Amino acid sequence: MNIRLARVDDLMGMQACNLQNLPENYTLKYYLYHALTWPQLSYVAEEDGKIVGYILAKMEEDVQEGDEPHGHVTSISVLRSYRRLGLAKRLMIQSQEAMATVYKAAYVSLHVRKSNRAALGLYRDTLGFTVKDIEKGYYADGEDAYAMRLSLKDLAR
Amino acid sequence: MPPAGIPPSRALPLKESGLFKEVLHYYEDRQLKKGLKTADAILKKFPKHGETLCMKGLILTHMGRREEGLELVKQGVRFDLTSHICWHVFGLIQKGQKNYEEALKSYTQALRFDKDNMNILRDAAHLQTQLRLYDALVETRHTLLRLRPQLRQNWIALSVAYHLRGDLAESKKVLEQFENIVKNVPDYDVEMSEILLYHIRVLEELSEYTEALALLDTHAKSRMIIDRVAIMEYRARILSKLQSPEAQQAWQGLIEQNPDCYDYYKGFLSSRAIDLDAVTDDIRPGALQILQDFVQQFPRAAAPQRLALSVSTGEQFKELVEPYLRTRLQKGVPSLFTDLKALYRSPEKRDAIESVVHALLDTLAHAPDAPCPSSIDPTVYIWTLYFLAQHHSHLGRHAKALELLDTAIAHTPTLPELYMFRGRVLKRLGDPYGAARWVDQARLLDLQDRFLNARCGKYRLRAGLIDEAVEVFGLFTKKDAVSPAQDLEDMQSLLYLIEEADAQLRNGNHAMALKKYLAIQKVFDDFEDDQFDFHGYSVRKFTINIYLNLLKWEDNLRSHPAYVHAAIAASRILVKLHDDPSMASAASDSHLSGAEKKAKKKAKKAEKKVQEEAKKAPSSTNEDKGLEATAPKDEDPDGTKLLQAPEPLERAAKLLKPLQTLAKSNIEAWVAVYDVAIRRKKYLQAVQALHHAHALQADSPELHVRLVDFKRRCAPNPALRVNMFSDTIGPGSSLSEKPDESVATVVSAFLPKLLPDEMSLEAYNSQFLQKHSTRGDAVLAAAKVSQALGAPREEVEAAVFNVLNADVELDIETAVAVDAFLSEIRSPREEEFRSAAGERFALSTVFVPHAKLPELRKSALHVPNVAEEKEEVIS
């Protein structure tokens, strides 16, 4: 599997991949907005031109007072048939590096459904995220989200 | 007295003039209600004040009263044709309607009366970009820069405009000037970093590699460019283009940064004069050595290992592939077969893989009923069986695949992948109903997984179970959506739209099929509109490189397979509709079964409920609804109105237009273009389409049918007949309007290259058949032609039944097409054919007698009880 920076012509493939995997979906314009605002942060896993996994990432735009600049993972997923290759981790690492070097991100945040144990395991055990907070009713269907964080301090240079 | 130059009809007394300023402020602050009230106060005294009328219209449009608003704006413009405000408002409204051409005209008018208005100029620039009017864009950007040279974005925007016009040298000049005057750049300025990367791209595109490299190195060193990956990529690429010895080191750095990126290995090898896509025997050992070294350096990266499999041959390949397979089977990597499939182009590699995996299986196999011996890892066993099933099915050995899957499922009944693939094998065997049942079973094993859910829905659609498919999709779509189908459409799911459209078509529901194909067209229209906001945004954000890539992508947008497929399929329906207008009036529900009608009623009821609830929601009258119209509610839920809309051929031609530049290598596209062109009497275009198709595949059966069609349709024209046609023509071939003479001359110059001149069409057809008598699709095409030439039905039937001969290559798809043809000509022998085809494709169900279809469809939904006790959970 080829891991590389997402290009404009990957966005439709990312959108298709997201629609097959996750219940949170977006129109293409939202992908365009990510790519055209932070062109360094989104990555794809590709096999023979087909997008089999992606990370769609951004920088937090309104940083609260006292907070540091930080990145945010809008969406990350890998097609079921391409699991166990470590793709999510590889995608995440590339994006984190870019957040730290280009935007001096201090940490990266993401949300995960409370019920999504598989993803929780990935973020916590494989990628080293920790649960920072629980956001009540974060999802459209009323489910709570874990707000998770990973420090990028050791990546900054 | 009004100030000089202001026409008396525009001038307002002091009080109203103040009110008008208030209207403008209220509008800008989106205090719409107050704005409206104030505008009305002016209009009470001056009902013909154009600018106020326009502002009122604009405000009403924002409040959702669109038609009323537009009417007022038009009135306002009429009352004051020289006001830049009126034209600006009109342009805004047209832009909101995505009518970019008209909007630009209005903006151009507005600029005539206020030539230095920055807002209008900027909007005009965006419209010019959207419309790809790059000469005009350069001019507008020039004006903007002249007016405000202190704004960074005005410089960059001008450079981009030159770039888009193809004037790279000017683009470069502007950037140099800008960089000379720019001051006080803060540390870590992402924007400046992006601008410099853009500058380097311009130099690279000008092939000024040395300058590009110098600029890159200077600014990388000074840390003005902060995107480290971009620096490394640009550097490696430019060094390679310069054939510099430093290139290798640059690529090495990138590989260290991301050892899973194929491009980096490709770049590294190219710096060692190795083309990864064309490895020859004399460079093979060197290439392999390099890759092996990378495997050592990055043992966790998959890319160099996989690339080594592509490069190696013979014994070396066997040595490498064995551990590659073993470690991944132990890990249970589901995509292993897909990963290696590309290697099967080499029979030697294919056989090597087969023997390695079979040997591995031998060490794992045990009596099917006995528990797995403790010495054996059950996971490896299952994934090995799974791999082999894919392997054998890929090579057409479906029975073997099913056998392996049954062993695996008996051993581990809880792994969804096994059921999914079993469904896929059945699909390949022509059993969509069995396939849907098995995939449903996979879904039931993990109800939390949307991927399994989506597969299940897709397979149900393939089995024609549309309502049932939508029901299953609905488990993951938004609960507050009007319907699952609407949510998937709103989320631009092309996968779903294509599958449903195709399913509707197979079920004979042309109206719904057309509706879904046109929904795909709409998605692409939206994608095209999506770029609009970025014409301004990207220049402000200075993300120019990716913005230029966006424009390029947009220009080729409709080369996407989903658009191509939808356009061709929709055009076929529209052509059919033209040939048989009664199709539109035929009762649209006649094909629905009772259950389907019931489900439809239920869906309609649910939709109504959602809409009623939406109405109940409180809405503030001051709420800004923006200028873009929101989607109106679906007035045509079953697509009948689409089917009845006038001018089907013009609609088809519009759909197909982009394919003529973007799908040039697609023969189906040219055939579709021909079918529409010939009916629109665009003879030249028809001939050109035939020519393109001919160049792509001279012996295409579909083309054969069209060549004869063309000759028949044109033949009665004396001008043509004298030149090229000497045969007599069958019935029904005369046209009311024939090509005029100038066209006829061109046509007659081209056609003989495609079709022999002095031969009857019957003879031509039998010649084609003789040449391709062992091809099922050719036999069918020849039968279609002889039917068109007026041969008796019995003869046509006998001809088409020849596809069943032992020496004819026949696949399921062609057999299905044959069946459809027999049904179209109302052949009494259709069931006979179905029965014979059913025997030929023993495991298929697509040819069962029509009477048995409802039962089969039901069986696709019946899921046998999944084993309750889960023995070994692997997932």
DSSP B65-107: -HHHHHHHHHHHHHH-TT-HHHHHHHHHHHHHTT-HHHHHHHH
**pLDDT of amino acid B718:** 45
* Mean pLDDT per 10-residue segment, chain B (875 residues): 69 89 93 94 93 94 92 94 94 94 96 94 97 98 96 96 97 96 87 97 98 97 95 97 96 97 96 92 94 96 96 96 96 96 96 95 74 76 96 97 96 95 97 96 94 97 96 93 94 97 95 97 97 96 97 97 98 96 69 53 58 51 72 80 91 97 97 97 92 95 94 64 36 48 70 78 94 96 95 95 95 96 94 95 93 89 56 43
Choose among B244, B276, B275, B239: nearest CA to B254: B239
Spatial neighbors of B800 by CB under 8 A, at least 6 apart, are B779, B780, B783, B818, B821, B822, B833
How far apart, in Å, are the Cα atoms of B25 and each of A37, B28, B36, B184?
Answer: 31, 5, 12, 35
User: Is some CB atom of chain A closer than 8 A to the CB atom of B230?
Assistant: yes
**pLDDT of amino acid B371:** 65
**Chain A contact set for B257 (CB, 8 A):** 97
Q: pLDDT tens for residues B583-623?
A: 887 744 455 555 555 555 655 565 565 555 555 544 445 67
Phi, then psi, of B614 in degrees rounded to 5: -65, -35
Measure the CA dihedral B85/B91/B94/B99, to 10°: 170
- CA B68/CA B209 separation, integer angstroms: 58
Measure the CA dihedral B671/B675/B677/B683, to 10°: 90
**pLDDT of amino acid B635:** 81
Q: Answer for the pair B503, B490: CB distance below 8 angstroms, yes or no.
A: no
Which of A48, A82, A104 lies closest to B188 in CB terms?
A104
**Ramachandran assignment for B314, one of left (phi > 0), alpha (psi -120 to 50 degrees), beta (any other):** left
Spatial neighbors of B850 by CB under 8 A, at least 6 apart, are B831, B834
How far apart are the CA of B259 and the nearest CA of chain A, in angstroms? Answer: 9
Phi, then psi, of A67 in degrees rounded to 5: -90, 165
Spatial neighbors of A59 by CB under 8 A, at least 6 apart, are A38, A41, A69, A70, A71, A72, A99, A103, A105
- CA A107/CA A112 separation, integer angstroms: 16
Choose among B174, B134, B128: nearest CA to B154: B174
User: Is some CB atom of chain A closer than 8 A to the CB atom of B619?
Assistant: no
Please report where in the chains the tokens 């960074």 appear, as a residue.
B152
pLDDT more than 70, % of chain A: 99
DSSP assignments along B478-508, one per residue: -TTSS-HHHHHHHTT-HHHHHHHHHHHHHTT
Q: Answer for the pair B165, B135: CB distance below 8 angstroms, yes or no.
A: yes
How far apart, in Å, are the Cα atoms of A88 and each of A1, A119, B98?
Answer: 12, 10, 39
Contact A102 B228 (CB under 8 A): yes
Size of interface A-B (CB pairs under 8 A): 133
- CA B99/CA B305 separation, integer angstroms: 53
3-state class (DSSP) for residue B832 = helix
Q: Would you state the structure tokens that stand for residue B724, as one six-digit string?
A: 């090229």
DSSP assignments along B315-332, one per residue: HHHHHHHHHHHHHHHHHT
**pLDDT of amino acid B725:** 36
Which of A16, A36, A83 lies closest to B494 in CB terms?
A16
**pLDDT of amino acid B729:** 38
- CA B176/CA B174 separation, integer angstroms: 5
> What is the SS3 string spanning B608-662?
HHHHHHHHHCCCCCCCCCCCCCCCCCCCCCCCHHHHHCCCHHHHHHHHHCCHHHH
Phi, then psi, of A56 in degrees rounded to 5: -110, 115
Which of B230, B335, B538 lies closest to A82 in CB terms?
B335
Which of B303, B478, B546 lies closest to A39 in CB terms?
B546
How far apart are the CA of A27 and the nearest CA of chain B, in angstroms? Answer: 5
Query: Who has greater pLDDT, B864 or A94?
Result: A94
- CA A11/CA A31 separation, integer angstroms: 6
Task: Count CA within 13 A, CB hemisphere, residue A3.
Answer: 25
In chain B, residues 285-304 whose CB comes closer than 8 Å to chain A: 300, 302-303
Phi, then psi, of B166 in degrees rounded to 5: 90, 15
ipTM: 0.96
3-state class (DSSP) for residue A111 = strand
- CA A136/CA B750 separation, integer angstroms: 71
Contact B547 A26 (CB under 8 A): no
- For the stretch B340-356, what's the b/e string if a residue is b when 16 or more beta carbons lie within 10 angstroms of its beta carbon? bbebbeeeebbebbeeb
Q: What is the DSSP letter of B872?
A: S
**pLDDT of amino acid B358:** 94
- CA B393/CA B428 separation, integer angstroms: 9
